[in-house]
Structure 1
C-alpha cells in the first residue's frame, strides 16, 4: 500500500529534511488510508484532524526557514517530527472515541493518554485508532465487533491480539509505528504473526494514564515498528515517571548486555507442527552470533503463567468492566464475558493466596538470572487459523500465551523479533526476555539480531535498510564507567562475581597497548597480578573492559586491596580507560609473567605444572 511513502523513522526524517511538506505527505497518506482496508481500524483520523496536525508542523518549519541553527534545534526538539502513528483503541486520544472494541463502552476522550501526549509533543502525528480483542482480553485478535484483522501473510490465519490492528497497520507500512498494550503478550504475539518488532517495556516504565485497564497492575503500553531502532526511539519519547499513575516505576537499567550472552532456551520447547522446524535455525543463529545456549526447565515459568487467567488476576479484568457487565452483559463478546465472569466467584482470600504464590515464584525466578543473561523463546507455539480459533476459542487462545503470560507477572521486559519464515511461508518470531529495567540493553541486542538476519520489513517486501546513519533517541540507561580488569576479575576467574553482582556487563575483551609488563604478585589469595606501564620492553596484555554502574563504582573500589589501585590504561586502539595498576614498590619481589600475554594464560600454565603426573 505504501509503495511511494516513507516507511521507517529514518525515511520520514530524510523526506522532511529534503524539503517535503508535512501537509502534502500526511494528507496523501490520510487519503490512502481512507480508501484502504478497514478491518484493522476502528476510527481513522479525518482529513481535518490530520490537516490540523500538519499545519502546526508547517508553521514550525516556516519559523525556521531562514535560520539553519533554528532548523537544527527544531529537529532536536521534535525527534518524531511529522512521523505518522496509530493508537490501539483502548488508549485515549483527545477528541476521538475510545471504544476498547465495545460499542456500548464508547466515549470521546477528554484528554490524551500520557504516552500519546508525549509522542505528539515530540512531533508525531496520530492517524487513527486500531482494532483489538475486546477490552484487550485475548491473544487472537478475533474478539471484536469491528472486524477480524488477519495476518498480513495469510488471510486465513489470525493477526494475533489483542493489539491486532496496531500490528497489521505497522506491518503493512500504513504508519511508521503503532501503539499496543501488553498484559499477557498482546504486544508480542501480533508482532510474531506479522514479521515486525514488538517492544514490551518493563511494567511501569511507560505511564498507563489514559489507558483502559485490562489488568491495571500489569498493563504495559507497547510499540510495534518495522525496526528495533524505531521502536527504541519511540520508547525513548514515551518513557518516564508519571505522578498520576500509581503503578509508574521508571528505573533505567544497564546500557548493554554482556558481549557473549548465556541465552536460556526451553529444554523441551512447546511448538506446533507449523513452527517446529523454524525454531532450531533461530537457536543456531544465536550461536552463530557467539552466544552460549543454556537449556533450562520452563516449568516454574509456566506455573507463573497459569496465575494470569487461572488465578485471581482475572478479577482485575472484572474490575475494569464490572459496571458494564452488570448493566449490559450482552454488550461483551461472549468469549470475553466467559473469561471475565470467572472472577465473580473469587474472594479476597483467593487474591491474597495468589499474591503469596506469585511472590514466592518471583523469588525463585530472580535466581534464574544467575544462570542466564536473557531468555529466548518462540513468540508463539504456532499460528492458528480463524477456523481453529472458532472451534476452540479459549483453548487456542490459551496456547498462544505459553511463552508470554508470565513476563509481566515477574516484572520483566521483552522484545519480539522476526526470526525467519516457516516452510509454509508464515512469519516465525522469537522473543528475548530480560530482567526488569534492562530495556535499553535489550534493544541494543535486538538491533544487532535484526541486522544480522536482515529480513524484509514487515509485509512490505522492502529490504532491511541497515542501521540508520543517524540513530534516533534511545531508552534511558543508568550511567556506567568502563573499567579494565587484568587478573582475578576476568570472566570465569575467582573475583569476577564482584563485577556481576554489581550488574556490570562485559564491554570488550581486548589488549592493552604494547607498553605494559605483567607480574604475579607474591602471597596473594586468590593469586593476583600487577600491571605496570614501561618505557621499553613491554607487550600487549589481555584485558577485559567492563561497564560498571556509577552507583556501584565506590563499593567496587573498596574491595581492591593495596598495592593495587585504579589508574589509566591505554588500550590497543589507543583509547584510555580506567583500569587496574600496581604500585611500583610491590613489584620488586614479583615474578615477571609478561611472556604469557595475559593472566589467564599464566594461571593455566601454573595449574598444568602443578597437576599430578
Structure 2
C-alpha cells in the first residue's frame, strides 16, 4: 500500500472510505493483538475519510493515506499506554507530528504495540502480545516500535511512526523488509511523545520506500516551539555536496571489527551491499569502528539510562510490579548512577565525539549492517538483556553522536528472512541519505515490505538539484579541476557536480596580467555564441563567503545562466577589463585555449 500506488487508485475510482473499510475489515478479522494496542473508533475514521472527499486532492500531499502511530505518541481522545495499561492517560490534543500529518491529508487508523516504555529492541517486552517478523512467526519483529513496523509490512497502513532512541526505528525495519528513517534529533517534534531518553529521542518513520519516507518527513517536519528539543538547521547545516556529485565516499568497518554473533548468512549479504553501493558510485573507505562501539556502550551501560527513570519516576515507584520485569529492572537500576557519573560520562562522550569526527573527515556517509542478526522469540527469552544488546551494536551510538540514519532492505537470506543495512550521515543529512538509500534498495531488493508487490513499479527518489546546505558554483578557468586554483574549492569541501556549458549569450576572454592566468566571462544579451564550458561545483554554504572574499578584481561572482536554462552562481568579469583582453569565445572553453598555446 505504498503512497504512490494509493494516489493512483484515488485518481481512478477508489475513495478514502473504500480504503478505511478494507482496513477495518482486516482488523476485525485478524483481531487487535499483537499489532495494535488500540484503534480509533471506526465511525471517527470513516468521518475523517468522508471529509477528505470534499477537499482538493492536489493540495494534500498525503491525501487519504492511512497511517499508524506507536502507542507512546499522543492522539487526542485516545489512551496513551506506552504498552503499560496502568500508565494509560487520555491526552486532550495530539502530538505535533500527528496533527501535521493529518493536516497533510493522512488518515490515522490506530496505535501500535511496542516494547514497554520504549525500552528494548526486541518487541517481546509487552503485555499486549508479541509481534513477530512478517516473514516467520518464530522470529522477533524487532522493537521497540514493533507494531508500527509490522502494521506497514503487513499492508494495513502505508506508513507509521515509531520512536528511536537506540535503534527502535531501524532494527524493526530490517526484520520486516522496510525503510526505517531516523532523522536528526529534533527534526520531527517530540511534543506529545512519552519520553524514553528525552535528550536523545527521535520520532521515526517506517515506509515501504525511501520516497514515501521523504514525503512523510516533509509533511511532519519543521520547528515546533512546543518541543524544547526541536531544531531547525541553520545556514549550511547538513551540507552534503556529495549528494549531487557522480561519486561519493562511504565508510565501512575493517572486517575484524564486524560482529554477527554467530550468524553465517548476514556477512555475505553485507558484503554484497558494499559492492552494490560501490557500483552506484561509492568509494568504500575503511575506518576504525571501535570509538563508535565505545560510544554505543554509554547508552545502556552509563548514566543515560537514568533519563528513562526520570521520564516515569513517580509511576515506577508506585507500579513497578505491574511493569514488564525486564523493563522494570533496566529502568529501576538507573538509581545507582550519580551526578558525578553523569558528568564523567558526558566528558567521555565528548572525547569520543572528537575521535569519531576524525573518521568523518574521510568519508561522506557510513554503511553498516542494521543489526548483526535476527533472533527467534525463544532465543530472546533465553537471554533477554544480552541478546537485546546484540541488536543495538550498530545503532546505539547514532543519537549520542547526533547523526542521521536510514535503514534500508538489503536482500533476502536463504532462510527467507530479510537482511538490512543502514546509511548513516552527519546531522541534518537525512534528505541527502534518502535518495542514496533508494538506489541501494532497488539494487538489492525486489519487493515491498512483506508483500510480493514489485519495488520496480514505484518511482525512484531523485536527489535534490542543490543538496542540503550547499550552493552551486560554476567555474570557467583557474578553478577548473586540475587547474592551479582548484584547491580553493576542494579545501572547502566542494564536489564537482557536472560539466556543462553556459547559455549562448556569453563571450569569453583571456585576461592580461593575471597570476595564475585567468579568463573573463561576460554576458552579452542577443549574442549567439557556442556557449562556454563550465564545471558546476557544490560548495557547503558556510564556506561560500570566504571563497567569494578571495575573488580578485576585475572578477566577480554573479548569476550565470547555463545551457539548460538554470541559474547558478559563477565567475563573471567587469566589462571594462575586456578592453585589452584576447577574445577566445570561439574556442568554447579555458582548456581549449590552454591547449591552443602549446
Same fold (TM over 0.5): yes
SS of the residue 2:312 aligns to: helix
* Counterpart Cα distance in 1 of 2:105 and 2:466: 20
What is the aligned counterpart of 1:103 among 74, 79, 85?
Answer: 85
Q: Helix, strand or coil: the match of 2:122?
A: coil
Matches of 2:463 and 2:489 in 1, distance apart? 28
1:309 aligns with 2:294: no
Q: Which digits, 9 at most, give the CA deviation of each residue in 1:57-116, with x for residues without a partner?
A: 23x34xxxxxxxxxxxx2344221211001101111111111111122122222211111
1:163 matched to 2:145? The reply is yes
Aligned to 1:46: 41
Does residue 34 (structure 1) correspond to residue 28 (structure 2)? The answer is yes
Is the 8 Å Cα contact of residues 287 and 359 (structure 2) preserved in structure 1? Answer: no
In the aligned structure 2, how far is the partner of 1:447 from the partner of 1:213?
Answer: 30
- Of 185, 196, 216, which residue of structure 1 is paired with 2:178? 196
Tell whether the 8 Å contact from 2:141 to 2:175 is kept in structure 1 after alignment: yes
**Counterpart-to-counterpart distance in 2, 1:244 and 1:574:** 43
Residue 323 of structure 1 is matched in structure 2 by 314
Separation in structure 1 between the aligned mates of residue 91 and residue 6 of structure 2, nearest angstrom: 29
- In 1, the alpha carbon distance for the partners of 2:379 and 2:96 equals 38
2:567 and 2:60 map into 1 onto residues whose CA distance is 35
Distance 1:32 1:474 in 2: 38
SS of 1:277 mapped into structure 2: helix
* 3-state SS in 2 of match to 1:107: coil
Please report the TM-score for the alignment, with normalisation by the length of structure 1: 0.86
Aligned to 2:438: 447
Which is worse superposed, 175-184 or 585-594?
A: 585-594
Q: Residue in 1 aligned with 2:337?
A: 346
**Alpha-carbon distance in 2 for matches of 1:196, 1:518:** 55
Shift of residue 546, structure 1, vs aligned partner:
2.3
Matches within 5 A, 1:508-547: 508-510=498-500, 524=515, 527=516, 529-530=518-519, 532=521, 541=533, 543-547=534-538
Residues 186 and 176 of structure 1: CA distance in aligned 2, closer, same or farther (over 3 Å)? same
- Tell which deviates more after alignment, 441-450 or 286-295: 441-450
Residue 589 to residue 512, structure 1, CA distance change in 2 (3 Å): closer
1:359-398 to 2 correspondence within 5 Å? 359-398=350-389
Residue 484 (str. 1) matches residue 474 (str. 2): yes
C-alpha contact (below 8 Å) 1:569/1:576 kept by paired residues: yes
Deviates more, 1:591-600 or 1:155-164: 591-600
Quote how far apart the aligned CAs of 1:566 are.
2.8
Q: Distance in 1 between matches of 2:335 and 2:145?
A: 26
Aligned to 1:418: 409
User: CA separation in 2, counterparts of 1:385 and 1:491?
Assistant: 54
- Tell me: CA distance 1:331–1:491, structure 2 relative to 1, closer, same or farther (3 Å): farther
> Deviation digits for residues 498-532 of structure 1, max 9, x if unmatched?
546766554324455798768597663xx454255
What's the counterpart of residue 571 of structure 2? 580
Note if contact 1:42-1:130 (Cα within 8 Å) is conserved in structure 2: yes
**Offset from partner CA, 1:173-207 (integer Å, 9 cap, x none):** 11000000000011011111111100111001111
Tell me the TM-score normalized by structure 2: 0.88
Residues 569 and 54 (structure 1), Cα distance of their counterparts in 2 relative to 1, 3 Å cut: closer
- Within 5 Å, which residues of 2 pair with 1:453-492? 453=444, 455-468=446-459, 481-487=471-477, 489-490=479-480
SS at match of 1:328: helix
Measure how far apart 1:124 and its partner are: 1.0
Q: Is the 8 A contact 2:244 2:464 kept in 1?
A: no
Displacement of 1:148 after TM fit? 1.1
Structure 1 residue aligned with 2:3: 9
Paired residues of 2:239 and 2:467 also in contact (CA < 8 A) = yes
8 Å Cα contact 1:233/1:475 also seen in 2: no
Return closer, same or farther for 1:14/1:591 CA change in 2, 3 Å cut-off.
closer
> Is residue 2:426 matched to residue 1:435?
yes
For residues 201-240 of structure 1, what are the structure 2 equivalents within 5 Å?
A: 201-240=183-222
Q: CA deviation at 1:356?
A: 1.4
CA-CA distance at 1:243 after TM superposition: 1.2
Is 1:270 the counterpart of 2:265 in the alignment? no
Hey, what's the Cα distance between the residues in 2 that align with 1:493 and 1:134? 60
Is 1:337 aligned with 2:328? yes
Q: State the distance in 2 between where 1:382 and 1:598 align.
A: 55
Residue 86 (structure 1) aligned to one of 65, 68, 92: 68
Contact 1:420–1:428 (CA under 8 A) maintained in structure 2: yes
The 5 A counterparts of 1:179-194 are 179-194=161-176
Instruction: Give the aligned partner of residue 134 of structure 1.
Output: 116
Compared with structure 1, are the counterparts of its residues 502 and 277 closer, same or farther at alpha carbon in structure 2 (3 Å cutoff)?
same
Contact 1:521–1:587, Cα closer than 8 Å, also in 2: no
Aligned length: 583
1:22 Cα shift? 2.1
* CA-based RMSD: 3.4
**Pair 90,474 (structure 1): closer, same or farther in 2 beyond 3 Å:** farther
Q: Secondary structure at the match of 1:108?
A: coil
Q: Is the 8 A contact 1:287 1:293 kept in 2?
A: yes
Give me the whole-angstrom Cα distance separating, in 2, the residues matched to 1:371 and 1:422.
32
Measured against aligned partners, the alpha-carbon deviations of 1:335-372 in whole angstroms (never above 9, x if no partner) come to: 11222233111101111111111122223333333211
Deviations 1:217-273, CA, capped at 9 Å, x for gaps: 000000000011111111111111111211111216447624211111112322332
Higher alpha-carbon deviation: 16-25 or 235-244: 16-25
Query: Counterparts in 2 of 1:219-298, with a 5 A limit?
Result: 219-251=201-233, 253-254=238-239, 257-259=243-245, 260-268=247-255, 269-271=258-260, 272-298=263-289
Q: Distance in 2 between matches of 1:475 and 1:357?
A: 39
Change (3 A) 1:181 1:265: same
Displacement of 1:10 after TM fit? Answer: 1.6
Q: 1:471-516 deviations in whole A, cap 9, x for unaligned?
A: 8999997675422124554567775565467665543244557987
Q: Is the 8 A contact 1:563 1:586 kept in 2?
A: no
Unmatched 5+ residue regions in structure 2? none
One of 40, 55, 74 as aligned partner of 2:50: 55
CA contact (8 A) 1:44 1:127 kept: yes
